[in-house]
């Protein structure tokens, strides 16, 4: 039988994906979730203006989207006070991470990240043959000094750093992040993933310097803008770096409806402020639920709350299974010692009430 001649690299990769999606879990269970609190989506929904813009664009969906994302790109540039040449738009931060890795990583090239940080980045690095060098977290935070040291030691092409952090919800101040940018070794690009920055306190993100070739900064409409299903992310970086994306990106990857929705969402900052207020209340409620059940909610600058179960990873995994068996979708960190925790998205009150009701039952089942 004739078979495709797969590359040696492809055949060496494990048959895994970074995450099992919530829909796959529901298909396996044969029923929907009672509370969907695992993917860090915004259950508060998108701006009504964005919904209206997408509805209006639907009748034109027979046309491809603007391959340059001109209107959205220029609106983002104006919003951030940078040039349009400093903005690239792509299929979520995940898609942009894949492009950055493709641009810079050849087989065997060193890449540095934190052990237990966002696994999709690692997935892309493995897919292009890069070699991951991982640094442990320190006190539930990524460790900037250790990351920089490892990047210097290995001659890393890329250094991945998420601030605020997924999966722990922790964060570093803008002052520390700027010191990290200033100390990036020659020949290393810092990939600063700021997916959760809209949920963070003031003073978390350093000032944008679009001409700084040492760093590329990633943002998204998937979190507080409530548009995870559209897959719209963007990166801000030095113009020569941003121009390189045109050599490899999917030029018609952003559909018309997605562009229209993201543009309208960006223009409705009042809705973003409304969601931020809802998020503050949800995080406080989750912290109270955790305390009521003998768990400890870690401080969060994201749209989720990570809860320390006070035991080991086996206990947290058992608790996760019991919650899922009761149709409550949550996730957890994958790597010790962070895997002592579960991670719960800060969602609408109705979902949090379900979680509050089910959590004691799940804990008793794990006793």
Output the tens digit of pLDDT for each of the chain's 367 residues.
688 999 999 999 988 888 889 999 999 999 999 999 999 999 999 999 999 999 999 999 999 999 999 999 999 999 999 999 999 999 999 999 999 999 999 999 999 999 999 999 999 999 999 999 999 999 999 999 999 999 999 999 999 999 999 999 999 999 999 999 999 999 999 999 999 999 999 999 999 999 999 999 999 999 999 999 999 999 999 999 999 999 999 999 999 999 999 999 999 999 999 999 999 999 999 999 999 999 999 999 999 999 999 999 999 999 999 999 999 999 999 999 999 999 999 999 999 999 999 999 999 999 8
Q: Say yes or no: 128 and 165 in one domain.
A: yes
Give the pLDDT of residue 158. 98
C-alpha 350/C-alpha 40 separation (Å) is 16
- Using alpha carbons, list the distances in angstroms from residue 97 to 20, 103, 160, 320: 19, 10, 10, 29
The answer to whether position 98 is within a domain reads yes
Contact 65, 255 (CB under 8 A): yes
Give the pLDDT of residue 16. 81
Contact partners, residue 72, CB within 8 Å, separation at least 6: 89, 232, 259, 262, 263, 266
Give the pLDDT of residue 17. 82
Count H helices, E strands: the chain? 13, 12
Give the pLDDT of residue 19. 83
C-alpha 216/C-alpha 243 separation (Å) is 13
The answer to whether position 73 is within a domain reads yes
Q: Say yes or no: 123 and 179 in one domain.
A: yes
Burial of 107 (0-12, 13-18, 19+ CB in 10 A): exposed
Q: Say yes or no: 106 and 196 in one domain.
A: yes
Q: Say yes or no: 37 and 110 in one domain.
A: no
Out of 236, 267, 298, pick the residue that ends a domain: 267
CA atoms within 13 A on the CB side of 100: 35
Q: Say yes or no: 314 and 198 in one domain.
A: no
Range of the domain at 38: 20-45+270-366
Dihedral sign (CA 19, 315, 351, 286): negative
Q: Say yes or no: 195 and 72 in one domain.
A: yes
Out of 222, 247, 267, pick the residue that ends a domain: 267
């Amino acid at each position: 039988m004739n078979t495709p001649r797969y590359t040696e690299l492809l055949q060496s990769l494990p048959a895994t994906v970074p995450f099992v999606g919530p829909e796959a879990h529901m298909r396996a269970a044969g029923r929907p979730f009672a509370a969907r609190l695992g993917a860090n989506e915004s259950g508060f929904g998108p701006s009504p203006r964005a919904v209206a813009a997408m509805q209006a664009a639907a009748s034109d969906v027979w046309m491809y989207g603007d391959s340059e994302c001109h209107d959205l790109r220029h609106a983002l540039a104006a919003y951030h006070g940078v040039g349009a040449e400093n903005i690239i738009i792509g299929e979520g931060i995940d898609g942009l991470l894949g492009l950055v890795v493709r641009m810079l990583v050849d087989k065997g090239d060193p890449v540095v990240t934190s052990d237990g940080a966002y696994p999709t980045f690692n997935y892309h690095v493995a897919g292009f043959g890069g070699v991951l060098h991982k640094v442990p977290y320190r006190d539930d935070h990524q460790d900037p000094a250790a990351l920089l040291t490892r990047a210097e030691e290995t001659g890393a092409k890329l250094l991945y750093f998420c601030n605020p952090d997924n999966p722990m919800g922790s964060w570093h101040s803008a002052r520390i992040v700027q010191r990290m940018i200033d100390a990036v070794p020659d020949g290393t690009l810092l990939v600063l993933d700021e997916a959760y920055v809209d949920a963070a306190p003031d003073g978390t993100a350093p000032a944008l310097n679009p001409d700084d070739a040492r760093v590329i900064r990633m943002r998204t409409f998937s979190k507080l803008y409530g548009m995870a299903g559209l897959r719209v992310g963007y990166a801000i970086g030095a113009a020569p770096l941003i121009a390189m994306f045109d050599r490899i990106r999917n030029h018609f990857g952003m559909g018309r409806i997605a562009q229209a929705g993201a543009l309208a969402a960006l223009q409705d900052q009042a809705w973003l402020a409304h969601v931020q207020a809802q998020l503050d209340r949800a995080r406080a409620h989750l912290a109270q639920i955790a305390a009521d059940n003998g768990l400890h909610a870690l401080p969060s600058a994201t749209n989720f709350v990570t809860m320390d179960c006070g035991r080991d990873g086996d206990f947290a995994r058992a608790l996760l299974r019991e919650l899922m068996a009761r149709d409550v979708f949550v996730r957890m960190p994958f790597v010790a010692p962070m895997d002592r925790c579960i991670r719960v998205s800060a969602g609408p009150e109705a979902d949090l009430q379900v979680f509050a009701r089910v959590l004691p039952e799940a804990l008793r089942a794990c006793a």
